[in-house]
Amino acid sequence: MSKKEFKSGFVAIIGRPNVGKSTLMNQIIGQKIAIMSDKPQTTRNKIHGVYTSENGQIVFLDTPGIHKPTSKLGDYMSKVAHGTLGEVDAILFLVDVVEGLGGGDRYIIEQLGRVDTPVILVLNKIDRVAPEDLLPVIVQYKDLYNFAEIVPISALQGNNVTTLLEQIVRYLPEGPQYYPADQITDHPEQFVCAELVREKILHMTREEVPHSIAVQIEDMRVEESGLVRISAVIFVERDSQKGIIIGKQGSLLKEIGKQARKDIEALLGSKTFLELWVKVKKDWRNQERVLRDLGFRQD
């Protein structure tokens, strides 16, 4: 294939919280760059994932789930998700076929009516339903919007993801290769490492804690031996949450560090020493200055 036929562009992955957007991103890229959790609104920043093939390069934006905000952090997340729709060459609207059409989906479809971007409906979690149950779901969504394509997949198992990628490339313009073929994200390693720590906290804590935490890498350096030494701070909103994160005699914090270190070592390909601290920043989700300091920017 000649160079002039190479296609490239930017694609947003949108959908209700917890429909599998980060799972799809990681499946396509082949490595964990977006954290996964069964708790909604896990993604807080646009995650740029880069997929490169012989005939094209797709730069994915895994946006926060579109939802009605309840805090300044929630407002930031919602603005990021909505703003992305006008920046891209194509949109993947990911839906959960197990849950079916809901009010959140209708709200998103309403927003899609404001843009001219081609929208591909991606029916996720087909591994969890019988094939004959898909058609009624497809009909429901087709009645509400004129989708460019409709592709059923399983983001978790990888079913039909190759077909989805082929369909996406069809809607991209001819263009340059924006990133080297071996680059999978434009986020700095510190950002991804902080997200991996946050993922473990989401998995290991109770309902009152998950959305009250933020993780910031304060120091990251490589020693002469090749060991990567990382110091990270976990911010919470209340003293009681600090106690929960630390656990009895530091047991939970130790387990968080142990699990996060495994993923970080896989990401970096190096032995890692991870040091975690817990600090209280009262009501940080509603303080714009703190949100900026923690990396929640709209640019």
Q: Say if residue 126 carries a ligand binding annotation.
A: yes
Q: What is the pLDDT of residues 266-290, one digit of tens each?
A: 877 789 999 999 988 887 776 666 6
Per the annotation, does 64 bind a ligand?
yes
Residue 14 marked in a binding site: no
Q: Does the annotation flag 21 for ligand binding?
A: yes
Q: Does residue 49 have a pLDDT over 60?
A: yes
Q: Is 53 annotated to bind ligand?
A: no
Confidence of residue 157 (pLDDT cuts 50, 70, 90): very high
Mean pLDDT of 193-197: 84
Q: Are 298 and 83 in contact (CB under 8 A)?
A: yes
> What's the pLDDT score for residue 40?
45
pLDDT mean over 215-234: 88
Categorize the per-residue pLDDT at 58 as very low, low, confident or very high, splitting at 50, 70 and 90.
Answer: very high
What's the pTM? 0.61
How much is the pLDDT for 1?
42
The answer to whether 173 is annotated as binding is: no
Residue with tokens 């560090």: 257
Ordered strands of the 214-222 beta sheet:
214-222, 228-236, 272-280
> At residue 38, does pLDDT exceed 70?
no
Max CA distance (Å), the chain:
62
Q: Tell me the percentage of the chain whose pLDDT exceeds 70.
A: 77
Answer yes or no: is 159 a known binding residue: no
Distance CA 252, CA 249 (A): 8
How much is the pLDDT for 217? Answer: 83
Q: How far is 166 from 162, CA to CA, in rounded Å? A: 6
**Does the annotation flag 52 for ligand binding?**
no
What's the whole-number mean pLDDT along residues 143-170? 96
**Residue 146, SS3 per DSSP:** coil
| Residue 67 reports pLDDT greater than 60 | no
> Is 153 annotated to bind ligand?
no
Predicted confidence (pLDDT) at residue 89 exceeds the cutoff of 60: yes
250 is in an annotated binding site: no
Domains delineated in the chain: 3-170 (3.40.50.300), 189-293 (3.30.300.20)
Whether residue 299 is predicted with pLDDT greater than 60 in this model: the reply is: no
Residue 3 annotated as part of some ligand binding site = no
**22 known member of a binding site:** yes
Is there a binding annotation on residue 295? no
User: What pLDDT band is residue 292 in, cutting at 50, 70 and 90?
Assistant: low
Q: Is 104 annotated as ligand-binding?
A: no
The verdict on whether residue 66 carries a ligand-binding annotation is: yes
